[in-house]
Amino acid sequence: MINVTKPNLPSFEEYAHYLKGIWERNWLTNNGPLVNELELKLKEYLGLNHLLYLNNGTIALQIALKAIGVTKGEVITTPFSYVATTSSIAWEGFTPVFADIDERTLNINPALIEQAITPNTVAILATHVYGNPCDVDAIEAIARKHNLKVIYDAAHCFGTQYKQQSIFAFGDISTTSFHATKLFHTIEGGAVFTQSPELLKTMSHMRNFGHNGPEAFEGVGINGKNSEFHAAMGLCNLAIVNDILKSREEASSLYDEALAGLRVQKPAITTNSKYNYAYYPIVFESEVALLKAVAALNGNYVYPRRYFYPSLNQLSYVHKQSTPVSENISKRVLCLPLYYHMSPEDIRMIARLLLRAQNN
């Protein structure tokens, strides 16, 4: 059986080495030494001054939305993302307003962001889809002009760079996920990134119930902390993350070669960026062609994912809005299996099945 992803597990001995330390210290969670070490090493690896390690990527989005200092209004967002992008906006009491995507990059279309702005707009929440950077320059210009906050859902972006800088450095706040299905993972986990010392301080209080010392509180907070056990997994995986990135790039080139002749399109990678090969998405000519491909793969125990489907403007709890490009793409897009140490034979087999399904 081949699934769309396979989480990397370090050697048992390597993880056990960290467990031994946890047992010796008897310090399991609450900003422990391994959490601190992971935060330091992540900052070093990413070339960033600030980040807060959290318990998942959805809490990261919720803390980011809470930190911008307004409690209601419209947040302009993309309909082409994982459901957590939209559900976090609704969960925090904001109204999601969708701007359709660019059909080349599959990222939110900046021109349509500007059209969607009303006097009630408070922020833009955009996803760097599949790890491919949004048009951050255009989005920043729009945000400045209209005095809006920008949050990026960079859940797919570990290792992605734009203009030689980590993509996590962009926006007022960036968020990411370190869930087991992501390129770099800590089992469950996530982070927020900001260049602003004020936002950093606000979010660090929010992460820990609003605590400012043991007996004082600074605003409303939540439990966004992560544990020593999760940080230990992160430290193991961070040690090999360059290898993970390289292995995915090689697997993606092999797919490119092996899929020659398949009538599909791939999203265009944004110029001036270094892509992380987090996913291998292909867009079929029609939903019928996609369903035929999925059936052929499933018949051979290969399980790709319709990621992202459905388009998020069709969720039951959002106001009815039409985003034709996202609706159309989400019916035709499929993410093929891609993970660390995926075998070339498996990639060639998947390509053969897809080509055979097309030509049948």
Residues in contact with ligand PLP by CB under 6 A are: 56-58, 81-82, 84-85, 127, 153, 155-156, 177, 179, 190
Q: Which is nearer to ligand PLP, 77 or 127 (CB)?
A: 127
Contacts of 257 (CB under 8 A, 6+ apart): none
Residue nearest to ligand PLP (CB): 57
Q: Which is nearer to ligand PLP, 27 or 307 (CB)?
A: 307
For residues 35 and 226, the answer to whether their CB atoms sit within 8 Å is yes
CB of 240 to ligand PLP, least distance (A): 20
Distance, in Å, from the CA atom of 341 to the CA atom of 9, rounded to the nearest integer, reads 11
Q: Which is nearer to ligand PLP, 225 or 355 (CB)?
A: 225
Q: Which is nearer to ligand PLP, 82 or 98 (CB)?
A: 82
Distance, in Å, from the CA atom of 15 to the CA atom of 236, rounded to the nearest integer, reads 7
CB of 292 to ligand PLP, least distance (A): 27
CB of 82 to ligand PLP, least distance (A): 4
CB of 171 to ligand PLP, least distance (A): 14
Q: Which is nearer to ligand PLP, 77 or 354 (CB)?
A: 77
Provide the H-helix boundaries in the chain.
Answer: 12-25, 33-46, 57-67, 83-91, 110-116, 136-146, 197-207, 228-238, 241-258, 287-298, 324-332, 344-359
Amino acid at 189: G
CB of 308 to ligand PLP, least distance (A): 8
Q: Which is nearer to ligand PLP, 127 or 194 (CB)?
A: 127
190-193/264-265 β-pairing: unpaired
Query: How many C-beta atoms lie closer than 10 Å to residue 345's C-beta?
Result: 8
CB of 131 to ligand PLP, least distance (A): 10
